A = this chain, B = another copy of it.
Amino acid sequence: MQTEELRCCGDFHERANLDKWIEILQSTGLKLTAPRHVILEFLHKQSHPITNREIYNGISNDCDLASVYRSINLFIKIGFVQQFDFGDGIARFELIEPGLDSHHHHIVCTDCSKVIEIDHCFPNSLTETIEKHTGFSRITHKLEFFGLCSECK
């Protein structure tokens, strides 16, 4: 029927294209459960890192909060999700495309908590200097910026 078709088409456009993640999930023997699907879908809609509780609220308590924690930890382990720390003691998470280089940073408004993604990064040349200087190898870094956004200043 027409309405059915239209609704279906609308759904198609609204629905996140999660095939990439779902395929990998199932190919590793893990189950595509309702909570995991809903959480993946919700993560895919976000434009900045969110907390476990925000996910829980965002999916209108579709599953237990503990299952959000467990799903997120799983997603981190299999490389679906990246964790960020904005210094307030609450972990934040972002869905990443499997295989792609997802390394980036954020700037957080100290007043209204607005978050913008930052593509600038700590220079490789300096990392090499630190490598030589300290004797450390396989160096990574965590870097987040803080400041007043244009509206709060």
Contacts and interface: CB of A to CB of B under 8 A. Distances in A.
A153 B137 contact: yes
A48 B18 CA distance: 45
Interface stretch (A8-16, A36-44, A142-150): A142-150
Interface residues of A, number: 34
A32 to B, nearest CB: 30
A85 B139 CA distance: 17
A118 interface: yes
B136 A107 contact: yes
Contacts of A134: 107, 116, 118, 147, 149
A20 interface: no
Contacts of A146: 139-142
A16 to B, nearest CB: 27
Contacts of A107: 130, 134, 136, 139
Interface of A: 85, 87, 89, 107, 109, 116, 118, 120, 122-123, 126-127, 129-131, 133-150, 153
- Pick the 6 closest A-B CB pairs, nearest first: A135-B150, A136-B147, A139-B147, A143-B143, A141-B145, A137-B148
Given A107-B134, A107-B136, A139-B145, 9 more contacts: A85-B85, A85-B87, A116-B134, A122-B143, A134-B149, A136-B148, A137-B150, A141-B143, A141-B146
